[in-house]
Structure 1
Amino acid sequence: PVSSMPAHSSAPEGASGEVRVHRPAEARAHVRAQGSDVQAGDRALDAGTILGPPQIALLAAIGRGTVRVRPRPRVVVVSTGSELIQPGEQLARGQIYDSNSFALTAAARDAGAIAYRVGAVADEAETLRSTIEDQLIRADLVVTTGGVSVGAYDVVKEALTAIGDPDEEGGIGAGSGVEFRKLAMQPGKPQGFGSVGPDHTPLLALPGNPVSSYVSFELFVRPAIRTLMGLPAETVQRPTTRAQLTADKALTSPQGRRQYLRGVHDPEAGTVAPVGGSGSHLIAALAQADALIVVPEDVTSVEPGTEVAVVLLG
């Protein structure tokens, strides 16, 4: 018998008594085996794992006081255009609200970055250059939107085309270079890419039309952010699938350009339906979409019922 004090006893503390055991305790009952969670030699976490509360608990539980990590990239989003004003202000003739900087900042955070928004820089090359230079101290990646086409006020192109001047000392142009190209895609034909500043900070210059800007972000900026995070290659791009097109009429697409149309995907039915038109200013249609319908460069018409490639945005 185990020495104890009877439950009904009023004996003072420290007095001895007896308790009767009516069944034996099973071997190792209520004893957690050493190594039953993670054994020596097991891989606790794969490289590229995002550290949330459970992962941090595991690291502490196995005694790791420190671990090598890739920090969340810091992304600075700069929108350009003298016609832009901030939501909540009163619109004047010839003005529009700045939606791109809000959309891209939210998209950068959704991709896993720490994002900073710098909205509505006027169409002045020197102002943009100084703005970007000021932001480099907190940027691992700079994203601009607007001013990359061939218009009279394409300030980003004007400000950044020649910033790789080897004679320039310090500042934004030291050791830098940004190229501007016309890509075979719609929306998002004009694009710029390169690096700026003494630390060669990557810069991606996106078009100014809202849909063009967002589609370009999904295709080019999001993969860059997730690559900087060290995530596995299979999670860098948005997932893709194939679905049957449901539409009232055939979709048309320009020859030689890969088109990305907004769509609503039904995973249970295996279908995707276009939403809104192809105009790159139609934000309402973009807000309803959860997918992009991809029409290849060599296809100019897609009939309803055709199986198409789909990029899943959700």
Structure 2
Amino acid sequence: RGHVRARGSDVAAGELALAAGTILGPPQIGLLAAIGRATVTVRPRPRVVVMSTGSELVQPGVALGPGEIHDSNSFALTACARDAGAIAYRVAAVEDDADTLRSTLEDQLVRADAVVTSGGVSVGAYDVVKETLSGLAGEEGSVSFRRLAMQPGKPQGFGLVGPDRVPLLALPGNPVSSYVSFELFVRPAIRALMGLDPIDRVTVRAVCADAVASSPQGRRQYLRGRYEDGTVTVVGGAGSHLVKALADANALIVVPEETTAVEAGTEVDVVLLD
């Protein structure tokens, strides 16, 4: 009798076993089985397909030719989607050809709860994403493209594609622009689909140690920064191609639309990235 466990000593009748919103890992699944729950209602991890577009893109590890650059966006955005909690699938870079883009998209929709593209959404001669997806109609879906009052990341696209109306988010092609756009728009969507909090990255107030000489009037600027103990320093310049500065940053410094310059010592909003 001394080695008999008391009934209800693990989970008593009427006691909450798992709260809504709990992520189900091995111990939680074991608990559900132990209390006799054969099924529970869950929000599955969304499957996110990530693809870069651009005939100039070359896989890392391959030597560059004239006018070529390595595809960094698809790798970074796939990592972003996984970090947000999604199951992410990276697709090799798609060349600037409307038929190729359409066929690739059709092939990928069977495994996608959402699609994220980068590149081809501005006003250039080879902005194939905008040109191709703007023409969708009926069962093909509908994608709208806008120019937002922000820097980086001004050109953006969003819509529903395919007969199942899969959400598609079309991000700009510059590496920093695509990353910032993901953090502001795609990450919250993934987190909302999963019912996870917080949906957005945490924003805090911090003292900016550096002066910002100029910020575009009427556009909200997101500068790369390094945050520590209530102070943030500017990392690199504002160029949307400066990936090294992005890799060194752990925060985004927010300069409001009406602010064209920031003095050193000014308190600013800072979006924490880690």
Tell me which interval the TM-score lies in, with the shorter structure as reference length.
over 0.9
Q: Which residue of 2 aligns with 1:312?
A: 272
Counterpart of 1:120 in structure 2 is 93
Percent of paired sites with the same residue: 73
Rounded Cα–Cα distance in structure 1 between residues aligned with 2:263 and 2:119: 34
Between the aligned partners of 1:289 and 1:35, the Cα distance in structure 2 is 50
C-alpha spacing 1:242/1:35, structure 2 compared with 1 (3 Å):
farther
**How far did residue 33 of structure 1 move?**
4.2
Match of 1:187 among 144, 149, 152: 152
Residue 217 (structure 1) aligned to one of 164, 182, 185: 182
Counterparts in 2 of 1:182 and 1:61: CA distance versus 1, 3 Å: same
Tell me which residue corresponds to 1:170: none
Instruction: Give the alignment partner of residue 237 of structure 1, picking from 181, 189, 200.
Output: 200
Mapped to 2, the partners of 1:175 and 1:84 lie a distance apart of: 27
Q: CA deviation at 1:246?
A: 1.0
Note the alpha carbon deviations across 1:178-209, whole angstroms, 9 max, x for none. Answer: 00000011000000000000000000000000
Where in structure 2 are the equivalents of 1:1-314 lying within 5 Å?
32-164=5-137, 166=138, 174=139, 176-231=141-196, 234-247=197-210, 249-266=211-228, 269-314=229-274
Q: TM-score, normalised by structure 1?
A: 0.84
Q: Which has the higher contact order (CA 8 A, sep 6+)?
A: 2
How far did 1:62 drift?
Answer: 2.1
Report the Cα offset of residue 277 of structure 1.
0.4
CA deviation after TM superposition for structure 1 residue 252, in Å:
2.5
Larger radius of gyration: 1
Q: 3-state SS of the aligned residue for 1:272?
A: strand
Could you tell me which amino acid in structure 1 is paired with residue 272 of structure 2?
A: L
- 3-state SS of paired residue (1:303): coil
Quote how far apart the aligned CAs of 1:287 are. Answer: 0.4
CA pair 304-69 structure 1, distance change in 2 beyond 3 A = same
Please report the RMSD computed on the Cα atoms of aligned residues, expressed in angstroms. Answer: 1.5
Give the whole-Å Cα distance in 2 for the aligned partners of 1:185 and 1:178: 20
Q: Distance in 2 between matches of 1:279 and 1:41?
A: 58
* Cα distance change, pair 130–306 in 1 and its aligned pair in 2 (3 A): same
Unaligned runs of 5+ in 2: none
- Give distance in 2, aligned partners of 1:211 and 1:75: 20
CA distance in 1, matches of 2:207, 2:98: 47
Aligned equivalents of 1:240 and 1:32: distance in 2? Answer: 48
Aligned length in residues:
274
TM-score of the superposition, structure 2-length normalised? 0.95
Change beyond 3 A, Cα 1:308–1:37 = farther
Per mean C-alpha deviation after superposition, the further-off stretch among 273-282 and 304-313 is 304-313
SS at 2:257 equivalent: coil
Shift of 1:44: 2.0
Moved over 3 A (4+): 28-37
Query: Whole-Å Cα distance in 2 between the matches of residues 303 and 203 of structure 1?
Result: 39
Q: Deviations over 1:6-52 (max 9, x none)?
A: xxxxxxxxxxxxxxxxxxxxxx9776543344332232222222112
Please report how far the alpha carbon of residue 251 of structure 1 lies from its aligned counterpart in structure 2 after TM superposition: 4.4
Aligned mates of 1:310, 1:251 — CA distance in 2: 18
Query: Hey, what's the Cα distance between the residues in 1 that align with 2:43 and 2:212?
Result: 46
**Alpha-carbon spacing, 1:36–1:279, altered in 2? closer, same or farther (3 Å):** same
Give the CA deviation at 1:175.
5.2
